[in-house]
Amino acid sequence: MGDRVRAAEESTEEKPAAPVIVRPEPAVSNRQSADLLSGPAAAAARVDDVVGLGGPAGNRATAQWLGAGSAAPAPAPGPAPVVPQKAPAPGGQQNPAPQGTTAAVQPPPTDWIESLPPHIKQQIDNFTDAQVKSADQGDKRLTDLRTQHRITFMETMRWAMGNDDGVIKKHFQEIDSINVGDSDELWLHVSARERLAAVKSDLEAQGIPLPQTTVGLGMRADHLNRADKGRGWFTHAVGFAIDFRALQTPKISDDRLITLFQLITGGRPDMKTSVESEARIDLEIKMGQGTAKPEDSKKLLDSIEAEYTRLTEGSEKFKTDLPKATLDRLREVENARYGVALAKRALVRLLKRTKPKPATKDEIAAARQAVPEAEERYQKIKAEVLPELPKLFAPWTKKIDDRIAEIDKHFADRGVDVEKLTSDFGLDERDKKISQLRAAEARLTGAAGANVGKVLQLHRDALDLQARIDAAKGALPDPDNGWGADLGKVEEATTAVLHGLDPLEGALADLVPKAKLEVKPAAPVKPGTLKQETIAALRKAAERLGPRFTELAVKIVPAAATFDQTDADLTAAKEDVAARRKYREDKAAEIGGGTDKASMAKGRATLQDLIKEKFELITLKSVKDSLLTNANGFVFGDKLEPHNPMLDQLLGVTPDTKGGFFTPDADGGEAAEKEAKAGTYSPEHGYGLVFIKTMVSHGFEPGMAWRGGSDPMHFELAEGRRFLTSAGAQPVVAGTTPPSP
């Protein structure tokens, strides 16, 4: 809940605007500013654009003008954090380095992987069938990639399972397949296979077949890109997890779907069991090992049964809550979508047909033409239905509006501003932003520090040149032979740089507050005999000043503009956080009736309830918008999904699935009993209450009990999960001893 509250606040609250840096003529982009000072048209902008700007406008305004609309380029991302090589396990293959030398980091051993079954190797290598074939034939690029993927796999498994390479090797050697019928296989670790076999035996004794599935071991390239995944994520990757009936029991984590289900049915789409989280894992481990207290096991299984009833009834209510006319209209869309799939399948069948005879050219041509025609019908019906959505979902949007009004009244009754009330997570996120802005300022200051000496030297050189020009002017012959005009042009260019340096140093002073930018006046130069060579030398010196100024301005000006805005953003962010914290405390005292400890606790508890309702309010508005506009395919999409599916799929109007949030298999009667007696894995029967309770009884954790994101298709061996989350410290017992006779 906390993460969702935080995310919702960050994406929807109206935040106070930071003080705006006023610039006369903002550039379109950072690139435009850079082009102005150093691009193809820079010649006219370099010196002339800074002449005369130093006085009336002031240093900061001039610097802002020079960097109008610009921002310093974002720093290039640094190298990815290096995962430290873990120390080898005792008895490992790495030898200690001689004393006084640095040991080279040795890659983990991977040669044993080659002896694994092809199915497991292919997942480790993350190769397609074609890539496997090419690599086996010696394709160097792919063989090198295979080597790297296997090294990364071992590094990930050392992190997930502990540093003992022997444990990792033994674990993956114990993964094997189960023949689940129709030439299909389910790959699992021996521990999960052993427990699943016990489940199968118990179910069959009651005339119930085990549901058929092939979704077990699945690395899905997660071992190659661990990112921020926790160890518990990898239960599929190591063969501890199994998924059943994905399309009829989909994973639901979209807050819009969770909130909508709760609004329509009165409850959440996940199970609330007698014990939660790690306490449930502890109990499931004991249940699987036969050491749980009977009363604890019964309490858990009873709570699962009660929630199973609630979920099945709620799923059915959800499917039937809308008027029949609405469901029929949505069904038209889904029938058209399914028609596209059927047309594509028909074409594939014709292309593959060899018996009784191959398809004719005319048959294939007709089948090819049927695909775009079906697609056209589908797009047409979608376009027709889209503007009808407000009418079709009017019963639900009214419920949403009623609930929004109810929440608004709660806030109004308490005198709380819904926008100003901020959760702890929302405040933490703002604190993170403040830290990021401070770090950005520090980076800008550090980068600008390297230019301080260069700007000072340019200023000294320009002053020295002006002193030489003054001396030359004093030595002009009378009457003037034309050298005065030449000196005037040299002085104009020098003065332009000096005037430009004034605001540039102002900008640099803001970037590097501790920098000392004072420059002493140049010592006067005594006039001497003026020669043509003197004029030429002065002209050459002046010509060198301009490019040096431009080079520095290109670096400093955008950074100054970015620093100004960053500083303004930082000030606004700090003031915003302070105001929000104060608002919460003031309201807590007001609602609680005082500032004493008990009153503040009472007020804070009320505010926490309102924060939860604020999240609900934000989500309800998002749900309504999604219902009315089909935002991101919320109502109807182009395919069925096992994770956060389109609403049509959940409503059961799709012809290619049963629909619903939670739709167990129908009672198979004699057909199911026949499958159980034969020991077959059933594609249609078995997934139901007895199956779920039996899985839990044998130590499997049900994903449907996960708060904040129900995953009813998913079961994972509780011992296996604990093995991973403890980084191998708590070993798996299942599968280590032969089964009882």
pLDDT (tens digit per residue) in 168-191: 999 999 999 999 999 999 999 999
**Mean pLDDT on 271-277:** 95
* Average model confidence (pLDDT) across the chain: 86
Mapped onto helix, strand or coil, the DSSP state of residue 394 is helix
Higher pLDDT, 732 or 56: 732
**Would the pLDDT of 350 be above 60?**
yes
> What whole-number distance in Å separates Cα of residue 557 and Cα of residue 551?
10
**Mean pLDDT on 362-390:** 97
pLDDT at 526: 86
pLDDT at 51: 34
- Cα-Cα-Cα-Cα torsion 435, 440, 442, 447, nearest 10 degrees, comes to 160
**Among 91-105, 316-330, 516-530, 639-653, the least confident range:** 91-105
Confidence band for 480, pLDDT divided at 50, 70 and 90: low
Confidence band for 738, pLDDT divided at 50, 70 and 90: low
pLDDT at 659: 85
**Mean pLDDT on 423-434:** 96
Where b means 16+ CB within 10 Å and e means fewer, 173-182 reads ebbbbbebee
Helix axis angle, 689-697 relative to 277-289, nearest 10°? 80
Confidence band for 669, pLDDT divided at 50, 70 and 90: very high
DSSP string, 474-528: HT--SS--SHHHHHHHHHHHHHHHHHHHHHHHHHHHHHSTT-----PPPPP----
Spatial CB neighbours of 683, under 8 Å, sequence gap ≥ 6: 211, 212
Tokens of 111: 């040669």
**Mean pLDDT on 540-547:** 94
Cα distances from 600 to residues 577, 593, 611, in angstroms, run: 20, 8, 16
DSSP string, 122-190: HHHHT--HHHHHHHHTT-HHHHHHHHHHHHHHHHHHHHHH-S-HHHHHHHHHTEEEEEEETTEEEEEEH
pLDDT at 13: 41
**Mean pLDDT on 615-621:** 97
Which class for 446: exposed (0-12), middle (13-18), buried (19 or more C-beta within 10 A)? exposed
Q: Which of 167, 180, 175, 158 is nearest to 238 (CA)?
A: 175
> What whole-number distance in Å separates Cα of residue 701 and Cα of residue 583?
43
Q: Which phi and psi angles does 188 have, rounded to 5°?
A: -145, 160
Residue whose structure tokens are 């300022």: 441
**Mean pLDDT on 303-310:** 97
Q: What is the helix (H) or strand (E) element at residue 681, kind and residue range? A: strand 681-682
**Would the pLDDT of 681 be above 90?**
yes
**Would the pLDDT of 8 be above 50?**
no
Q: What is the helix (H) or strand (E) element at residue 579, kind and residue range? A: helix 532-592
Cα distances from 118 to residues 184, 222, 225, 350, in angstroms, run: 15, 19, 22, 32
Q: Which of 327, 319, 326 is nearest to 261 (CA)?
A: 319
Mapped onto helix, strand or coil, the DSSP state of residue 305 is helix
SS (H, E, C) 356-388: CCCCCHHHHHHHHHHHHHHHHHHHHHHHHHHHH
Cα distances from 575 to residues 131, 434, 562, 607, in angstroms, run: 57, 10, 20, 21
pLDDT (tens digit per residue) in 203-215: 999 999 999 999 9
pLDDT (tens digit per residue) in 595-604: 999 999 999 9
Query: CB–CB of 729/162 below 8 Å?
Result: yes
Residue whose structure tokens are 């009623």: 402
Q: Which phi and psi angles does 396 have, rounded to 5°?
A: -80, -40
> What whole-number distance in Å separates Cα of residue 262 and Cα of residue 613?
13
**Would the pLDDT of 96 be above 60?**
no
Q: Where are the domains of the chain?
A: 30-65+437-575, 111-173, 177-322+640-725, 328-387
> What whole-number distance in Å separates Cα of residue 315 and Cα of residue 651?
9
Confidence band for 737, pLDDT divided at 50, 70 and 90: low
**Would the pLDDT of 481 be above 90?**
no
Q: What angle do CA 59, 64, 67 make, to 5 degrees?
A: 130
Confidence band for 103, pLDDT divided at 50, 70 and 90: low
> What whole-number distance in Å separates Cα of residue 34 and Cα of residue 68?
11
> What whole-number distance in Å separates Cα of residue 236 and Cα of residue 186?
12
Query: CB–CB of 615/8 below 8 Å?
Result: yes
> What whole-number distance in Å separates Cα of residue 500 and Cα of residue 52?
8
pLDDT at 102: 53
> What whole-number distance in Å separates Cα of residue 213 and Cα of residue 199?
14
**Mean pLDDT on 406-431:** 96
Residue whose structure tokens are 């008027």: 323
Beta-strand relationship, 184-189 and 210-211: unpaired
> What whole-number distance in Å separates Cα of residue 427 and Cα of residue 586?
16
> What whole-number distance in Å separates Cα of residue 415 and Cα of residue 299?
43
- Which amino acid is located at 233 in the chain? W
Mapped onto helix, strand or coil, the DSSP state of residue 716 is strand
**Would the pLDDT of 299 be above 90?**
yes
Q: Which of 253, 327, 288 is nearest to 707 (CA)?
A: 253
Q: What angle do CA 671, 672, 677 make, to 5 degrees?
A: 100
